[in-house]
Structure 1
Amino acid sequence: MLDDRAKLLLKALVERYIADGQPVGSRTLSRATGIELSPATIRNVMSDLEELGLIASPHTSAGRIPTALGYRLFVDTMLTAERSHMQTPTLAPDQPQKVIANAAHLLSDLSHFVGVVIAPRRSSVFRHIEFLRLSDRRLLVIIVSPEGDVQNRVLFTETDYSASQLVEASNYLNHHFAGMAIEQVREKLLAEVESLRGEIATLMQAAVQVSTEALTQAQDNVVVSGERNLLSVSDFSSDMGNLRRAFDLFEQKAQLVRLLDSSAQAEGVRIYIGGESKIVPMEELSVVSAPYEVDGLVVGTLGVIGPTRMAYDRMIQIVDITSKLVSNALSHK
């Protein structure tokens, strides 16, 4: 446990380092806190904070910088509960995909870092399936989800199916399986395959397979905006290795999904600080994220990714406001 003096100095150090990006010395701390402490007293407290792993001393400077643990303590216990007023922008709810893209841009524009939004997961349930003959042994499978999303896949078959066979197969699937998850359809179809004519059963199994692939590929659509903002962040612009690793992360959509999904089950804004855990793959990055809802149900996650040296109180506001805007824009009033 830290006493009030140590907390005050740590808070001042973190805030000064966030603002300037330079190691903070005892003289700067004395001015920042506005309390009369001798340089020796401040140095002693700094030494204690360093022993606790809350701050560190770069080898090139007499000043100190916060560690991941120091940032965490600052975020969890020292951020002011007062929120400065932010002018609330609007997100037009005309098209869900446009709302998601606009939200990513909004996060980026307000934070001056990287905005990331995981689009709502589409249902793996199909409402309707249809076959269209393209040529000999080449079919177009049309899959419609309950939300009206349409996925098309070309299916190559060993048999040249007639128009009546295609109608028979689609009618059977729509009559018996519409409204079921595609995984359930596969299981039930395997159980019923003996009662179906061989070529029709083969066609339906192939159709279910491509439907699974189509619906799976539609999942986890990640929208990223503002990657170039990191070019103006000194923490990255001065180290091409850090910048390259950050851009690699943004290209690896699956890793971004895992990163933001960590907060999908939590209420409110969550903060993940680089170097603190394996959730954030880079020590120099932090993530501020929150889930958003459609009609009261959590369907996706959004957030800001930026340097560990970021103004966390402002990022919390930005992410919190944007998650509420997205929820309102996507929900049916």
Structure 2
Amino acid sequence: MAGFSGETRLNARAQRLLKALVELYIRSGQPVGSRTLAREAGLDVSPATIRNVMADLEDAGFICSPHTSAGRVPTDLGYRFFVDSLLTVQPLTEMDIDRLRVQLERDGAATELVDKASSLLSGLTRLAGVVTLPRRNYGTLRHVEFLPLSEGRVLAILVLNEHDVQNRVIQTEREYSAAELQQLSNFLSSEFAGREVGSVRELLLAQMNADREQMDSLMRSVIDVAQRLFADDTDDDEDYVIAGETNLMTFSELSDVDKLKELFDAFERKRDLLHLLDRCLSADGVQIFIGEESGYEIFDGVSLVTSSYRAEGEVLGVLGVIGPTRMDYDRVIPIVDVTARLLGHALNPNH
């Protein structure tokens, strides 16, 4: 059989063998030999032909041979070709979707829903589930309260949508008394209740650009406090909830103590994983990072399957599943996709 490179299209026989090899390895975690592969692929070809195809796949970088075995395992490139071209996704049944929908019904704060979603992702996939918290300034403002703290700091308590209560500490230009803050609270609550938080910020920016000399002291105070409260958060550190990290210990390729410690440290630090998840915010549909594709050495040997979740077309955050590159992509992808849709629906204040 003629060889092929990673840039050329694999012929039908090579694709069939690669698909069978990846599926076998995902199930067993053991390197796949040519005899096992021939039996699994159901091809009526000689063992020599199988060996030749495997040699070509190895030369092209789709599979490799571990030192301790004559069998082959998929590389990151092999998994990528499998996911992009060979995978048959198993859609969730209506019963599965209904179960998820019931468990993600909105009956509390957004943070409770995020906790539920991460636990559901972990439980359904037996991997680690991760969900970023919804963007801070999404939703409808219901009420604002302020409490004075020390050194010009103010505790702001926001009620958003029907359920969400958020606490934020802001730094103001001067000290405010409890009476002044109550006056500011009354003004903001009466003027902006029922408005989208993003539009409140735009209205305040417009006021800031007006002639400050014509503003009364109340309005100047409102702008001082509120512009900090409703400031654009795009540079703030977002946060996430992760569940099921210990599931990763059950996979032999991740069971090395040092590897696990580094991975758990990365979850704790959050920075690298957040940067990776941020790359999914603007993408449509399910995104998959396989091993070295993440750009972070700590995630070598690990795959992330992610999707942004949205309400009324606006991206609120990202959720996904973290596991070894040897994961059941056909099951995991639809679970991530459906969970993202249901979480976005549950967080929609108008649903």
Q: Which of the five TM-score ranges fits, normalised by the shorter chain?
A: 0.7 to 0.9
Structure 1 unaligned spans of 5+: none
Aligned pair partner of 2:107 in 94, 105, 110: 94
TM-score (norm 2): 0.78
- Taking the aligned partners of 2:92 and 2:173, their CA distance within structure 1 comes to 62
Secondary structure of 1:44's partner? Answer: helix
Deviations 1:296-319 (A, max 9, x none): 433222111100011110111221
**Worse overlay, 265-274 or 322-331:** 322-331
Answer whether contact 2:288 2:303 (CA < 8 A) is retained: yes
Residues 246 and 30 (structure 1), Cα distance of their counterparts in 2 relative to 1, 3 Å cut: same
- Taking the aligned partners of 1:327 and 1:160, their CA distance within structure 2 comes to 38
Secondary structure of 1:288's partner? Answer: strand
- Taking the aligned partners of 1:17 and 1:53, their CA distance within structure 2 comes to 16
> 1:108 matched to which residue of 2?
122
Instruction: Determine whether 1:320 maps to 2:337.
Output: yes
Answer whether contact 2:89 2:333 (CA < 8 A) is retained: no
Deviations 1:120-142 (A, max 9, x none): 2121797765544568x666442
Instruction: Determine whether 1:260 maps to 2:277.
Output: yes
Query: How does 1:1-333 map onto structure 2 within 5 Å?
Result: 1-81=9-89, 83=91, 85=93, 87-88=95-96, 89=99, 90-91=102-103, 92-95=105-108, 96-123=110-137, 131-133=146-148, 140-144=154-158, 146-147=160-161, 149-153=165-169, 163=179, 166=181, 180=199, 182=201, 185=204, 189=208, 207=225, 211=229, 220-237=238-255, 239-278=256-295, 281-331=298-348, 332-333=350-351
- Amino acid across the alignment from 2:239: N
RMSD, aligned CA: 3.6
Answer whether contact 2:64 2:72 (CA < 8 A) is retained: yes
- Taking the aligned partners of 1:199 and 1:330, their CA distance within structure 2 comes to 34
Matched positions, count: 329
Secondary structure of 2:322's partner? Answer: strand
- Amino acid across the alignment from 2:106: P
- Taking the aligned partners of 2:31 and 2:178, their CA distance within structure 1 comes to 75
Residues 60 and 213 (structure 1), Cα distance of their counterparts in 2 relative to 1, 3 Å cut: farther
Task: Tell me by how many angstroms 1:54 deviates.
Answer: 0.6
**Worse overlay, 2-11 or 143-152:** 143-152
Structure 2 unaligned spans of 5+: 1-8
Task: Tell me by how many angstroms 1:35 deviates.
Answer: 1.9
Secondary structure of 1:149's partner? Answer: strand
